[in-house]
Amino acid sequence: MLSSDCAGQARRSHVRQSHKIVVHFLDGTLLKGHARFFFHHQMQLLVQTLEGEERLIPFSSVKAVFFVRSFTGDKARRERKKFGPDSPRFGQPVCVRFLDGETILGASLGYRPEERGFYLKPADPKSNNEMIYVPQGSVKEVSVGDVER
């Protein structure tokens, strides 16, 4: 039999922690909030905004979903645009060029162009972005493996 402390832990263990996210839309706007359940295989994303409003966002309008360490970040800091010895070692090196011309360099596990999207770990380990989800519809080009590492 579980003690009351253990029973409480067991009940809480299946509840997902919410993620700090910043949604970049194809039209250039941003939305900061939290996502408790992020299922990339669905057609939409449920976000609780910083104001507490719940919004259902269709992935067709999303450029990328950034899982961030902080909502403020460091505006003066410039993201490193190349791989270094401290860059992530898992996955394939990829360079993503978005429809708006922005490029991001990182590592991705199992990138497949036929999928709806993919996850990317930035090449810069000090980035405010811990992980990025990129829907295929926002991408102009993805170079895999043949990027500066």
pLDDT at 73 (0 to 100) = 73
CATH of domain 18-70+78-144: 2.30.30.100
pLDDT in tens, the chain (149 residues): 444 444 444 344 344 568 899 999 999 999 999 987 766 667 888 899 999 999 999 999 999 999 999 888 777 777 777 787 888 778 889 999 999 999 999 999 888 889 889 999 999 888 899 999 999 999 999 999 867 64
Which pLDDT does position 7 carry in this prediction? 40
The model's pTM: 0.82
The DSSP result for the chain, as a single string, is: ---HHHHHHHHHHTSPPPEEEEEEETTS-EEEEEES---TTSSEEEEEETTS-EEEEEGGGEEEEEEES-SS--TTPPPP-S--TTS--SSEEEEEEETTS-EEEEEESS--TTSSEEEEEES-TT-SEEEEEEEGGGEEEEEES-S--
Domain boundaries, the chain: 18-70+78-144
